[in-house]
Amino acid sequence: MEKQKIEFFEPDIESSVSIELSGEVHAGFPSPAQDYTEGSIDLNKELVRHPASTFYARVVGNSMIDEGIDQGDILVVDKSLDPQNGDMAVCYVDNEFALKFIDKRDDKIFLVSGNKNYPDIEILPGSDFVVWGVVTYTIKKRNRRV
């Protein structure tokens, strides 16, 4: 398994992280009839459903680049969710953290990377393995096009 470091942070739920909204943004043809709306959104309330069991993590490494997850992206990880097949999760395997997809095949569990250069990892009996939390959101910095 490739070495991967994941930095963890607790959300400060007591604070309000509000940003002003100036209306909806359509990714297609804009409607001239669209009303201008005002309001705000609290990012803590929007991104964190279970405050006592939610953490932020910063991605280090490139094991998920084919899925659009880049080094430096921030993950919102909920430890209270029951991991399902296909979930992106932070896993703890043999004393290391890894960001992978959960893939249940027959009676076996595989951890699947989002980078075609990394092989699947089969969780063997006796492995020190736990799904630490399920990724619910990814926050990424967009680079400006020049």
Q: Which helix (H) or strand (E) holds 89?
A: strand 88-93
Q: Does the annotation mark 15 as catalytic?
A: no
Per annotation, catalytic residue among 16, 22, 63, 79? 63
Per annotation, catalytic residue among 5, 18, 100, 140? 100
Distance, in Å, from the CA atom of 84 to the CA atom of 91, rounded to the nearest integer, reads 13
Residue 55, CB half-sphere, CA atoms under 13 Å: how many? Answer: 16
Torsions phi, psi of 90, nearest 5? -90, 120
Q: Which residues pair with 18 in a beta bridge?
A: 42
With b meaning 16 or more CB within 10 Å and e meaning fewer, what string describes 70-92?
A: eeebbbbbbeebebeeebbbbbe
Q: Does the annotation mark 3 as catalytic?
A: no
The secondary structure of residue 121, as a DSSP letter, is E
Residues assigned a catalytic role: 63, 100
